[in-house]
Amino acid sequence: RKKFTILVTGFGPFQDKFPVNPSFEITQRLPECLPATSQKHPAIRIIPYPKAIRVAFETVRQLVPLLHNDYAGTIDAVLHIGMASGRKHYCLERYAHRDGYVKNRDLDGKMPSADEGRTIFGDCPPKMTTSLDYDDILLKWQSNVLGIPEGTPGCDAEVKESHDAGHYLCDYIYFNSLAHTGRCSGKMQGGDITARPVLFLHVPAESNGDMLERGTTITTELIRAIADSF
């Protein structure tokens, strides 16, 4: 199998209580390459997006199309990462939402207008999901994490399915990315695996060295699962 290439993004600081966002720190610690372990398991190239994405709706709305256009033809999939304060586990998000971004303001004190979903994204369904095989990836990821040797980072981590990406910047970047790829492929729903090859991972908010090492291992195992399922 040919080499599998994935782009991985993370967010920048969020509020005063999170001056370090672990999502971006994890992207910068990922290995550049993972060698093929067998004919079934392709070699993997990981491209970390070099800048932390500002926690701002306008930034995300403008950046996502540029991101996909800049890497068009060179990547097979995109993994967005964000932090979820209050969670100790790692979540793979199944759905992204078009509407409902009316409760929490971003770093600029702004949020999308209540009718943005119907105006800017009127051609998109209210809820979108990846064209990748989510269930297969989830099972492979959970299996990979169970196989992490005892005493090494990530060995006892909980990795779960999630159906609620939070109606904030994490949900928003996931939806924008799915909408862009859906428009490009002409498939907002269904289609083959290349139609909307985007996923979102939520990681715990802790950003000390041990947690970043743990998060990097868990993310690496998710990327292996995505590549193996592709």
pTM: 0.97
Q: Count Cβ atoms below 10 Å from residue 129 Cβ, excluding itself.
A: 18
Task: Please give the tally of structural domains in the chain.
Answer: 1
pLDDT of residue 37: 79
Of the candidates 222, 170, 205, 213, which has an alpha carbon nearest to the alpha carbon of residue 9?
A: 170
For residue 113, give its domain range: 4-229
What pLDDT, in 10s, does the model give residues 64-104?
999 999 999 999 999 999 999 988 999 999 999 999 999 99
Average confidence score pLDDT of the chain? 96
Give the CATH number for residue 16. Answer: 3.40.630.20
What pLDDT, in 10s, does the model give residues 98-133?
999 999 999 999 999 999 999 999 999 999 999 999
What pLDDT, in 10s, does the model give residues 21-63?
999 999 999 999 999 977 778 899 999 999 999 999 999 999 9
